[in-house]
């Protein structure tokens, strides 16, 4: 596996692969990789001849008071995981390589970004869309892989690809969890032992909502209230949002029907964690390991 730092190197390698008739998969990441990222890479390896992993902490998706400077980084660890998973190229650029100092172009999206994380992180999705579009133009993959833990991000990327006519298949992959149910996240490293124990309240609370829906509850307000009530039993937890929305539009709904996303963001101490579950358009709910109930 090669580790490269420049756009020119990526393009040179990918062009050669395509001359040889190879399909290309892309796994965009911000580094400090874990088993969730590894599952994305392994799926990409199964479905493509060659796989590129980007390892870039993107400054444009962080607000001025967010954790850009402290976001965990470990290139050596990341490279080891990528090799084990079967990636062929690890792209690790500096911000100066990805962004011109006098840049004036960005991508903004209406609608899908006004709720959930977009409400509390107003610059976030413009940064996400801009950097992902740049990666698509640099790598020109056939498929790109994103985790369902960031469900709103997945919906936003799919809409961007549709709206801007990118010739790329977007593949969503299931949430990978710790044994106690906590969704794997690079930010879990911020948690103290006490906070780590408290963080399981996210998945436990979502499970209550899943069970209510599985038993036939259709009132979104009642499900939301039950989730909120359980989260508030944990003294270290502070709710950013608990929302039940259409997975297609990311708009709040009152009746649970069709494709539905139940998403939460909760501060455990100073660490903001997200989690969710999805109800498919066929009326199937999925548990915290994406298993149909």
Return the pLDDT at 293: 37
The string of pLDDT tens digits covering residues 205-251 is 999 999 999 999 999 999 999 999 999 999 999 999 999 999 999 99
User: How do the domains of the chain map onto residue ranges?
Assistant: 2-173, 186-279
Per annotation, catalytic residue among 34, 37, 92, 124: 37
Name the average pLDDT for the chain.
95
Radius of gyration of the chain (CA): 19
The topology (CATH level 3) of 186-279 is 3.30.1300
Judged against a pLDDT cut of 70, whether residue 290 lies above it is answered with no
Residue 77 Rama label (left phi>0; alpha psi -120 to 50; beta) = alpha
- Which residue shows structure tokens 């509850």? 217
The string of pLDDT tens digits covering residues 163-172 is 999 999 999 9
CATH number corresponding to 2-173: 3.40.50.620
Task: Clarify whether 37 is annotated catalytic.
Answer: yes
In sequence order, the 6+-apart residues with CB closer than 8 A to the CB of 289 are 174, 175, 177
Return the pLDDT at 275: 98
Residue 197 token pair: 């124990």
Question: What's the pTM?
Answer: 0.93
């Amino acid at each position: 596996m090669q580790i490269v730092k420049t756009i020119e190197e990526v393009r040179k390698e990918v062009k050669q692969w395509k001359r040889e008739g190879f399909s290309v998969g892309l796994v965009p990441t911000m580094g400090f990789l874990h088993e969730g990222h590894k599952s994305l890479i392994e799926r990409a390896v199964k479905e493509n001849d060659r796989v590129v992993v980007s390892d870039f902490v993107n400054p444009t998706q962080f607000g001025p008071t967010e954790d850009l400077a402290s976001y965990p980084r470990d290139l050596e660890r990341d490279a080891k995981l990528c090799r084990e998973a079967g990636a062929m190229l690890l792209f690790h650029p500096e911000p100066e390589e990805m962004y011109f100092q006098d840049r004036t172009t960005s991508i903004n999206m209406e609608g899908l970004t006004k709720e959930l994380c977009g409400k509390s992180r107003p610059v976030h999705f413009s940064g996400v869309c801009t950097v992902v579009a740049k990666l698509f133009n640099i790598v020109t993959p056939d498929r790109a892989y994103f985790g369902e833990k960031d469900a709103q991000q997945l919906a936003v990327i799919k809409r961007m690809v549709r709206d801007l006519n990118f010739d790329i298949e977007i593949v969503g992959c299931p949430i990978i969890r710790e044994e106690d149910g906590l969704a794997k996240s690079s930010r879990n490293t911020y948690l103290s032992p006490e906070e780590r124990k408290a963080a399981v309240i996210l998945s436990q609370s979502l499970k209550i909502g899943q069970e209510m829906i599985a038993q036939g509850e259709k009132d979104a307000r009642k499900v939301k209230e039950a989730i909120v009530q359980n989260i508030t039993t944990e003294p270290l937890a502070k709710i950013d949002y608990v929302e039940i929305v259409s997975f297609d539009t990311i708009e709040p709904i009152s009746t649970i029907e069709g494709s539905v996303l139940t998403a939460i963001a909760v501060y455990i101490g100073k660490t903001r964690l997200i989690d969710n579950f999805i109800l498919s358009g066929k009326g199937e709910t999925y548990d915290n390991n994406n298993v149909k109930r």
